[in-house]
A = this chain, B = another copy of it.
Amino acid sequence: MLKLYFAPGTCALASHIALAEAGADYTVERVDFKANQQTSPDYLAINPKGRVPALATERGILTETPAILAFVAQSFPNAGLAPVDDAFAFAQVQSFNSYLCSTVHVAHAHRVRGSRWASEESSFADMKRKVPETVGACFALIEDKMLSGPWVMGEQYTICDPYLYTIATWLGGDGVEIAKLPKVAQHHQRMAERAAVKKALAEQA
């Protein structure tokens, strides 16, 4: 039995959707960010980084969204969530997810997590002001160069799709109009109609 530690509104939703898509046997446990539970000794024993997601497996804990997503794809091959036996095609999937974690999520995080990288209120405000531009530039690249359609990798639904969907749910708050990104907007709508997405969102509510 797998257990996913999550908080609502975070990137843990991507792993949650992937588990649901895979038909995995899993439970979820909410980490209460408002009570700073992610920095409690109990949770730090699970994930010393004090972040979500964390996935408890029978062999130990896994962290970091791209790693968890690839783990789910590889552990449930019948779900066909990634071309794990084709080194090039799998690398394309991983390249997309790596861009989301290292560039897009990071750009977004400067809106309210400026204290990770600076100390002055004026810097936080400056970072926050730039988020519509930086996240907008990331999504313009995704729209123009990366999202093949109907799914990220083309005809094949993969672990890129729940991750893009999750990060795109932040666009409004980041000051980026999804309506101006037609492929991203259509992808978002297509994802919202999937049973696994509805299931994960209901389990997080």
A interface residue numbers (CB < 8 A to B): 48-49, 57, 59-60, 62-68, 70-71, 74-75, 87-88, 90-92, 94-95, 98-99, 101-103, 105-107, 110, 116-120, 122-123, 126-127, 129-130, 134, 141, 144-145
Q: Which residues of B contact A49 (CB under 8 A)?
A: 99, 103, 141
Contact between B87 and A75, CB atoms less than 8 A apart? yes
Interface centre among A64, A110, A119, A130 (most CB of B within 10 A): A64
**Residue in B68, B99, B102, B106 whose beta carbon sits within 8 Å of that of A91 in the complex:** B68
Contact between A126 and B130, CB atoms less than 8 A apart? no
A205 to B113, CA, bound (A): 38
Interface centre among A65, A126, A129 (most CB of B within 10 A): A126
Main secondary structure of the interface of A (DSSP, over half): helix
Q: Which residues of B contact A65 (CB under 8 A)?
A: 98
Q: Which residues of B contact A144 (CB under 8 A)?
A: 48
Contact between B102 and A106, CB atoms less than 8 A apart? yes
Q: Which residues of B contact A64 (CB under 8 A)?
A: 94-95, 98-99, 102
**Residue in B123, B126, B145 whose beta carbon sits within 8 Å of that of A48 in the complex:** B145
**Residue in B75, B98, B120 whose beta carbon sits within 8 Å of that of A66 in the complex:** B98
A126 to B126, CA, bound (A): 11
Contact between B134 and A123, CB atoms less than 8 A apart? no
A87 to B63, CA, bound (A): 14
A141 to B118, CA, bound (A): 20
A106 to B118, CA, bound (A): 13
In whole Å, how far is A74's beta carbon from the nearest beta carbon of chain B?
4
* In the complex with contacts A62-B88, A67-B95, A91-B62, A122-B119 CB distance below 8 A: no
**Residue in B68, B119, B141 whose beta carbon sits within 8 Å of that of A129 in the complex:** B119
